[in-house]
Chains A and B, each alone.
Chain A
């Protein structure tokens, strides 16, 4: 048997007319639900949904690497964290706090770090890549944790949420509904962009790297360069998620850079279905929902990661296509 990385995720089909139509129909339904949700849900669940979207974005960015290029990265926590801290930097340095600057700083910070990490790690294969990205996460964790004067060290940074403002036109403070819609808009835009990217020639090359890297190289593609771009793109969206998190919660902390956060993103990926872009968001939702339910049923101290860890392992062994894959097969009967 040829070894396919991570057991062949859903192949991207050539879009026939009906497939496209189904997709867009489904998309509109889901969007409608998500837009209406904050209006009907109680506060807690509203914020919960927003958080699911943010973590989903992080997981989705990771999916670009795992699902489409076949590279497992534990470095996303670094990109996420630096997006967060970048936004924090903008919001604390400039007065009045400016949303667009926060976004810009966050994205630039994570892009730069992504380039740095990519440069060192992409020349390595598989396992070494995973370990190196993990080490990098930890490097940044240590730096941020110990550089207390600048980063607030262990305690992190607190800041105010900026208003949604276009200078000269209008300015409006976010409330939890508008925050949700903002996040939804950003995540949806990201999804559509990533979808476009994965279906583009560039995306096809990434998938061919996943399928058979030596052959792709033999054909003549500069595989390293493609990988670096993939990592940067992935890092950019992870950083974006970090900025959103900062805006939503108004603090930045080093805990988010610890490699376990990357690990969680990977868990969301596997649970939802790698290589599907939507899967990770579903996986995030499933995981966070389960966590919430378990702590409601069994109390705060309950080690929810034990049953969830078991589910994760069981899924790796028996359901490698994740929940989405399972649903797809079930619907196809």
Chain B
């Protein structure tokens, strides 16, 4: 596979242009995430953050530009192949499989080629350790879970893929403050396991706390890029792009 030099980013996108029909959403997005890094992506609503994630995940085809994973070009690859390469995706509004049980939801990530039954047991146990509430509800249909529980399930499901990077799209949206700190913990846990994270969020403080670097988008392109701690200190930039 790759040379695994520390300079090769895990995921990189170069000059991405994406359209929805006639709407030109992404105007040349360029960013990179290194192995094990937590990178934030901030910006106002409608600026193209979700679209960027979807393009990386292959759910939307860019009209121009490249997506690279571990040094190889993967633009245009179908999502299921990207998932198997090691990209996990947790979309906005969770989108868990409502009529499947919690265990069945997790199994969609577990049932992969080359995973032994032992390994599956281990992964499942890990999911239930980190998310005890899922263990309680393991045989319940996904649709019966609360919003916060569904978010847990969506993240756990992605973790079952043993991904190298997880694309998290607004995980704290609509959640109570107590759950927001739980999400924060999960991000830390994933970071400790050396899973990279691209975190799209509206919650600025959370993002600045959790991430090492942050990209800020405006009108379909990346306009600013800085280390999180610099942005924490210099909040004029945040004001400028996000108005908060």
A, B co-complexed: yes
Within 8 A of A (CB), among B2-48: 19-21
A-side interface mostly: loop
Complex formed: what's the CA distance from A1 to B54 in Å?
13
* Any B CB within 8 A of the CB of A2: yes
- How distant is A228 from chain B, measured CB to nearest CB, in Å? 29
In the complex, which residues of chain B have a beta carbon less than 8 angstroms from the beta carbon of A1?
Answer: 19-21
Within 8 A of B (CB), among A1-41: 1-2
- How distant is B82 from chain A, measured CB to nearest CB, in Å? 19
In the complex, which residues of chain A have a beta carbon less than 8 angstroms from the beta carbon of B20?
Answer: 1-2
Complex formed: what's the CA distance from A2 to B21 in Å?
5
Identity of the chain A residue whose Cβ is nearest the Cβ of B60 in the assembled complex: A1
Complex formed: what's the CA distance from A92 to B136 in Å?
78
- How distant is A214 from chain B, measured CB to nearest CB, in Å? 15
Complex formed: what's the CA distance from A237 to B42 in Å?
58
- How distant is B76 from chain A, measured CB to nearest CB, in Å? 15
In the complex, which residues of chain A have a beta carbon less than 8 angstroms from the beta carbon of B21?
Answer: 1-2
Complex formed: what's the CA distance from A75 to B21 in Å?
32
Complex formed: what's the CA distance from A1 to B20 in Å?
5
- How distant is B113 from chain A, measured CB to nearest CB, in Å? 31
In the complex, which residues of chain A have a beta carbon less than 8 angstroms from the beta carbon of B19?
Answer: 1
- How distant is A66 from chain B, measured CB to nearest CB, in Å? 21
Complex formed: what's the CA distance from A1 to B19 in Å?
7
Complex formed: what's the CA distance from A31 to B232 in Å?
77
Complex formed: what's the CA distance from A2 to B22 in Å?
9
In the complex, which residues of chain B have a beta carbon less than 8 angstroms from the beta carbon of A2?
Answer: 20-21
Complex formed: what's the CA distance from A57 to B19 in Å?
39
- How distant is A6 from chain B, measured CB to nearest CB, in Å? 16
Complex formed: what's the CA distance from A2 to B20 in Å?
6
Identity of the chain B residue whose Cβ is nearest the Cβ of A1 in the assembled complex: B21
Identity of the chain B residue whose Cβ is nearest the Cβ of A3 in the assembled complex: B21
Identity of the chain A residue whose Cβ is nearest the Cβ of B23 in the assembled complex: A2
Identity of the chain B residue whose Cβ is nearest the Cβ of A2 in the assembled complex: B21
Query: A104-135, CB under 8 A of B: which get 1 and which 0?
Result: 00000000000000000000000000000000
- How distant is B41 from chain A, measured CB to nearest CB, in Å? 23
- How distant is B20 from chain A, measured CB to nearest CB, in Å? 7
Query: B211-233, CB under 8 A of A: which get 1 and which 0?
Result: 00000000000000000000000
- How distant is A212 from chain B, measured CB to nearest CB, in Å? 11
- How distant is A257 from chain B, measured CB to nearest CB, in Å? 40
Complex formed: what's the CA distance from A1 to B21 in Å?
5
Complex formed: what's the CA distance from A142 to B88 in Å?
56
Identity of the chain A residue whose Cβ is nearest the Cβ of B22 in the assembled complex: A2
- How distant is A153 from chain B, measured CB to nearest CB, in Å? 49
Complex formed: what's the CA distance from A2 to B19 in Å?
10
Complex formed: what's the CA distance from A71 to B107 in Å?
41
- How distant is B86 from chain A, measured CB to nearest CB, in Å? 27
Complex formed: what's the CA distance from A2 to B23 in Å?
10
- How distant is A211 from chain B, measured CB to nearest CB, in Å? 11
- How distant is B224 from chain A, measured CB to nearest CB, in Å? 30
Report 5 cross-chain contacts, Cβ distance below 8 Å, ordered by A residue: A1-B19, A1-B20, A1-B21, A2-B20, A2-B21
Residues of B within 8 A of A (CB): 19-21
Residues of A within 8 A of B (CB): 1-2
Closest 5 A-B residue pairs measured CB to CB?
A2-B21, A1-B21, A2-B20, A1-B20, A1-B19
